[in-house]
Chain A
Amino acid sequence: MSRIRAGRRWGLGLRLVLAIAMSAVIIFPLYWMIVVAFSARADLLGPELRFWPETFTLENFERVLTTFPVAEWFGNSVAISVVVSTITVAVNLLGGYAFAHLRFRGSTALFIIALTTLILPLQVIMVPLFRLITGLGLYGSYWAVILPTAASAFGLFLSRQFIQGIPRDLIEAARIDGAGHFRVFAQIVLPLSKPLIAVLFFMTLLQSWNDFAWPLIALKENSLFTLPIGLLYLQGQFGADYGGTMAFALINVIPLAVLFLLFQRYFVQGFARSGLR
């Protein structure tokens, strides 16, 4: 008995050390980001090894906050990301149900084709997509960003996995009772999908929040830009302003990180219930 207990204690110690080591490696770049954000430029280029800002300064933040209309861009980011996430969730929930529970010809092939849209990098379709957006008259409005971004099959993949996990018996029972598919969807699938909705909404929010290449091209005017575009401005013609870049990256990441940490538990739950065992 004592050997097992000792073994367990030793195991615990080792595991704790491993966990700490792992976390330290992960946190180091983040720590560095913070150090750089609070350092003066001259410090960054010095030859000595330093783990702490020599001169702790807020000048990077000041510079970045005065140069860019951060509040405006923040608002744009929020508006766009929330709408994209909402549309994505709605569209992919419907689609996920179709692929998960409805039998129709070509369902597998269609699904794989939809999946391949995930592979398409923006750079390949950038010009044709831009022509399309201009042709549709969307150029320079939020919709130029919202619609193409919402057209993502990641949610479809996830929804299908999750909804497949909803017992078919429940669905069958409702159908026998005479319910149409939409009623089944609304009354049975939807209430059971809360974790899926949370996860999908958040993951889409995350991706859309950090998107910059397409918003830059599709949102004509500076006043409509989203927050990450500011990072690009800081990579000037003559080299990057690292202090400002990291300060800005911090500003960009903090709302997300906060949301993340608050809802971390729901994610794990959401993914768990998605039948991704």
Chain B
Amino acid sequence: MTGQFVAGQAPTVGSGRSARPRTRPRGEARAAYFFLTPNVVLLGLFVFLPLGGALILSLQRTDGFGEGSFIGGANYAQLLSDPLFWRAAVNTVLFTVLVTPLSMGLGLLAAVLLNSVLPARGFFRSIMILPMAISGVATALMGVLIFDENSGVVDKMLRFMGLPGVPWQSGGAAAFASVVIMTLWWRVGFNMLIYLAGLQGISPELIEAARLDGATGLQRLRFVTVPLLGPSSFFLLVLNVIYSFQVFDLVFVMTGGGPQNATSVLVTYAYDQAFVTRDQGYAAAIGIVLMVFALVFTAVQWRYNKSRDRGE
């Protein structure tokens, strides 16, 4: 049973396929349109239409209130030479590069740990996934409280132990770290959940076979488990990267992009441009660029995953 559940792989089909070659494609396409219509309508109307609006905005100089003036690609040209934009872009990439492997790695470790024989395993699992139920804003507010460098509990504990307090608000690297830490706290449970599910789909015989062949725990993990978790990893990779690119609440509430733009990311920068500086066109351009980055990344990941599956 398990063999047939590998995602992304089209199993070979019997002779029924060749019986009606010509009606199949046409019938399927028509059926496809029918099945996809609700999705297309929803996405088209409520995502692509506003996206189109944003695209048009990005070609204008406007504060949103009056008529905008059409300036073509000038906003995009301005982006290229805007140091704040590049700072935000670098920060976004850095954030993604830190959070994605860390949350997946920690999630995997937690899943392996909590998949093994342990007393009160269910209890531990419940605790790990509890942060998922909390909203981004509430998480960020908790972070503000806990990491406050003057009256927060983390620094109080550090000072109690005789260590210097960490400047979580006034230090750039520390502020960045505090945001990463809260993000990991929030996201590890989800990663663990996916990996747990994946682990349970691995037949124990495979692991047993590897052990009988003399593989140690670590080797079993590396050469049997992780490869078999490929689809889970792909799923998590795409979702984690997408989430990291569009992180907003956690950064906005915890640091507001500071100190001195140390934690400014693309979406907070776009928001500031739209509603504080009131340059709606420029903000829209930032958003479009963000989307293009992510689109390119997703397509590359997809292509890579497809070829990897085919190569198996």
Which residues of chain A have a CB within 8 Å of any CB of chain B? 12, 15-16, 18-20, 22-23, 25-27, 29-30, 32-33, 36, 44-49, 90-92, 94-95, 97-98, 102-105, 107-108, 110, 112, 114-129, 131-132, 147-148, 150-151, 153-154, 156-157, 161, 164-165, 167-169, 172-173, 175-176, 180-182, 185, 206, 209-210, 212, 228, 231-232, 235, 240, 242, 245-246, 249, 252-253, 256-257, 260-261, 264, 267-277
A138 to chain B, nearest CB (A): 10
CA–CA, A271 and B197, complex, Å: 5
Within the complex, which residue of A30, A49, A277 is in contact with B130, where a contact is CB–CB below 8 Å? A30
Given A127-B64, A167-B4, CB of A276 within 8 Å of CB of B197: yes
26 A-B residue contacts at CB 8 Å?
A26-B188, A30-B130, A103-B25, A104-B29, A117-B43, A123-B248, A123-B274, A125-B47, A127-B274, A128-B51, A131-B53, A147-B45, A147-B46, A151-B42, A151-B47, A175-B16, A176-B16, A181-B28, A212-B135, A246-B142, A253-B138, A260-B130, A264-B122, A277-B6, A277-B7, A277-B201
- Determine if B260 is an interface residue (Cβ-Cβ < 8 Å): no
> When the two chains form their complex, are residues B119 and A119 in contact, meaning their CB atoms are under 8 A apart?
no
Given A124-B290, A161-B7, A210-B135, CB of A168 within 8 Å of CB of B13: yes
Which residues of chain B have a CB within 8 Å of any CB of chain A? 2, 4-8, 10-11, 13-14, 16-17, 19, 24-25, 27-29, 31-32, 34-36, 38-39, 42-43, 45-54, 57, 64, 110, 113-114, 116-119, 122, 124-139, 141-146, 151, 153, 156-157, 159-160, 185, 188-189, 193-194, 196-198, 200-202, 228-232, 235, 238-239, 242, 245-246, 248, 253, 267, 270-271, 274, 280, 283-284, 286-288, 290-291, 294-295, 298-299, 302
> When the two chains form their complex, are residues B39 and A120 in contact, meaning their CB atoms are under 8 A apart?
no
Q: A26-B130, A121-B290, A125-B54 are in contact. List 6 more A-B contacts (CB 8 A).
A: A120-B47, A125-B287, A151-B47, A272-B201, A277-B229, A277-B230
> When the two chains form their complex, are residues A16 and B119 in contact, meaning their CB atoms are under 8 A apart?
yes
> When the two chains form their complex, are residues B298 and A95 in contact, meaning their CB atoms are under 8 A apart?
no
Q: Name B182's closest neighbour in chain A (CB-CB).
A: A29
CA–CA, A274 and B5, complex, Å: 8
Contacts of B235 in A (CB 8 A): 157, 161, 276
Contacts of A264 in B (CB 8 A): 122, 125-126, 129
CA–CA, A208 and B25, complex, Å: 38
CA–CA, A93 and B48, complex, Å: 21
> When the two chains form their complex, are residues A151 and B43 in contact, meaning their CB atoms are under 8 A apart?
yes
Given A150-B42, A272-B198, A277-B228, CB of A125 within 8 Å of CB of B50: yes
Q: Name B273's closest neighbour in chain A (CB-CB).
A: A123
CA–CA, A210 and B130, complex, Å: 14
Within the complex, which residue of B4, B57, B129 is in contact with A128, where a contact is CB–CB below 8 Å? B57
Q: Name A97's closest neighbour in chain B (CB-CB).
A: B35
> When the two chains form their complex, are residues B35 and A161 in contact, meaning their CB atoms are under 8 A apart?
no
> When the two chains form their complex, are residues A115 and B298 in contact, meaning their CB atoms are under 8 A apart?
yes
Q: Name A23's closest neighbour in chain B (CB-CB).
A: B127
CA–CA, A151 and B294, complex, Å: 19
> When the two chains form their complex, are residues B202 and A30 in contact, meaning their CB atoms are under 8 A apart?
no
Given A29-B146, A264-B129, CB of A19 within 8 Å of CB of B114: yes
CA–CA, A117 and B54, complex, Å: 13
Given A95-B35, A156-B39, A245-B141, CB of A128 within 8 Å of CB of B7: no
> When the two chains form their complex, are residues B245 and A252 in contact, meaning their CB atoms are under 8 A apart?
no
CA–CA, A209 and B229, complex, Å: 30
CA–CA, A264 and B129, complex, Å: 9
